[in-house]
A and B are shown apart, each in its own frame.
Chain A
Amino acid sequence: MGKKWLPQWDTKWMLILTAVASLVVFVVLPMLYLVYKSFIINGTLDIHHYQTVYSKVVNWNALSNTLKISLYSTILAVVISFPLAWLIGRTDLPWKGFFRTLFVATYMIPPYVGAIAWIQLLNPRVGYVNKFLVENLHLAEAPFNIYSMTGMVWCLTLFYAPFAFITISRAMEKMDPTLEEASRVSGASPLRTLWNVTIPLMYPSILAGGILVFIGVASAFGTPSIVGMPANIEVLTTRIVTYIYMGDTKGIQEATALAVSLMLAANGLLYLSMFGLGKKEYVTIGGKSTRPNLVELGKWKWPAFSIVMGYGAISVFLPIGSVLVTSLIKSMSRPVTWDNLTLATWKAALENTQYTEPLMNSFILAIAAATIATIIGIFIAYLLMKTKAKGRKIPDALATLGGATPGIVIALALIITFSGNFGLNLYSTMTILVVGYIVKYLTMSVRTISASLSQVHPSLEEAALNSGASWLQSLRDIMWPLIRPSVVAGWFLVFMPSFYELTMSIILYGSQTKTIGVLLYELQTYADPQDASVLAVIILLIVLVGNLALRKVSRGQIGI
Chain B
Amino acid sequence: MADVKITSVTKKFGDVFAVNNFNALIKDGEFVSILGPSGCGKTTMLRMIAGFERATEGEIAIGDQIVSKSDAGIFVPPEKRHIGMVFQSYAVWPHMNVFDNVAYPLKIQKVPADKLKERTEQALDLVHLAEYAARFPNQLSGGQQQRVALARALVAEPGLLLLDEPLSNLDAKLRESMRFEIKELQKKLGITVVYVTHDQAEAMAMSDRIIVMHKGVIQQVDEPIRVYEHPANPIVADFIGLVNFLEGEAAAGQIQFKALGCGIPANVSFEGPARVAVRPEHIRISKTDGYLRGKLVNKFYLGDSTDCRVLVGDTELRVIDRGAAFAEYSDGEDVFLSFGHVMAFPK
Contacts and interface: CB of A to CB of B under 8 A. Distances in A.
Interface of A: 176, 178-179, 181-190, 192, 196-197, 200-201, 203, 282-288, 290, 293
A286 B91 CA distance: 9
Contact of A182 (B38, B47, B91): B91
A182 B79 contact: no
Contacts of B87: 178, 181-182, 287
A192 B78 CA distance: 13
A178 B138 contact: no
B108 A181 contact: no
A283 B138 contact: yes
B52 A181 contact: yes
Given A181-B78, A197-B93, A287 B169 contact: yes
A187 B80 CA distance: 6
Given A187-B79, A288-B43, A182 B94 contact: no
Interface string B167-188: 0010000000000000000000
Given A197-B93, A284-B89, A187 B169 contact: no
Contact of A285 (B50, B79, B169): B169
Contact of A185 (B85, B92, B138): B85
A187 B88 contact: no
A185 B169 contact: no
Question: Would you list the 5 A-B pairs with minimal beta carbon distance, nearest first?
Answer: A287-B89, A287-B88, A182-B91, A186-B105, A178-B91
Contacts of A178: 87-89, 91
Interface centre among B38, B78, B85 (most CB of A within 10 A): B78
Given A184-B78, A186-B108, A188-B79, A285 B89 contact: yes
B73 to A, nearest CB: 13
A284 B169 CA distance: 13
25 contacts: A176-B89, A176-B91, A178-B88, A181-B50, A181-B91, A182-B85, A184-B51, A184-B77, A185-B78, A185-B79, A185-B81, A186-B104, A186-B156, A187-B108, A187-B156, A188-B79, A190-B77, A200-B93, A203-B95, A282-B94, A283-B94, A287-B87, A287-B88, A288-B43, A290-B43
Nearest to A204: B95
Contacts of B53: 293
A427 B2 CA distance: 81
A277 to B, nearest CB: 13
B90 A285 contact: yes
Interface in B126-166: 138, 142, 145, 149, 152-153, 156, 162, 165
A187 B105 contact: yes
B152 A182 contact: yes
Contact of A286 (B38, B78, B89, B93): B89
Contacts of B52: 181, 184, 293
Contact of B83 (A185, A201, A286): A185
Contacts of A293: 52-53
A189 B108 CA distance: 9
Interface string B63-92: 000000000000001111111110111111
Interface string B95-127: 100000000110011000000000000000000
A179 B93 contact: yes
Nearest to B90: A285
A201 B95 contact: yes
A290 B50 CA distance: 14
A199 to B, nearest CB: 10
Contact of B50 (A179, A185, A196, A287): A185
Nearest to B50: A185
A284 B79 contact: no
Nearest to A182: B91
Contacts of B50: 181, 185
A1 to B, nearest CB: 38
Given A176-B89, A285-B142, A189 B169 contact: no
Given A176-B91, A184-B79, A288-B165, 12 more contacts: A179-B91, A181-B85, A182-B93, A182-B149, A184-B51, A186-B152, A190-B77, A201-B93, A285-B142, A285-B169, A290-B47, A293-B52
A288 B153 CA distance: 20
B136 to A, nearest CB: 10
Contacts of A185: 50-51, 78-79, 81, 83-85, 153, 162
A285 B153 CA distance: 18
Nearest to A192: B108
Contacts of A181: 50, 52, 78, 85, 87, 91
Nearest to B142: A285
B79 A189 contact: yes
A190 to B, nearest CB: 8
Interface in B293-309: none
Contacts of A189: 77, 79
Contacts of A188: 79, 104, 108
Nearest to B96: A200
A197 B295 CA distance: 64
A288 B43 CA distance: 10
A283 B165 CA distance: 20
Nearest to A285: B89
A525 B79 CA distance: 59
Contacts of A186: 79, 104-105, 108, 152, 156
A176 B90 CA distance: 10
Nearest to A282: B94
Given A178-B89, A182-B149, A284 B94 contact: yes
A14 B14 CA distance: 56
Nearest to A181: B52
A132 B68 CA distance: 53
Contact of A187 (B94, B109, B149): B109
A201 B95 CA distance: 7
A98 B163 CA distance: 37
A200 B78 contact: no
A202 B85 CA distance: 23
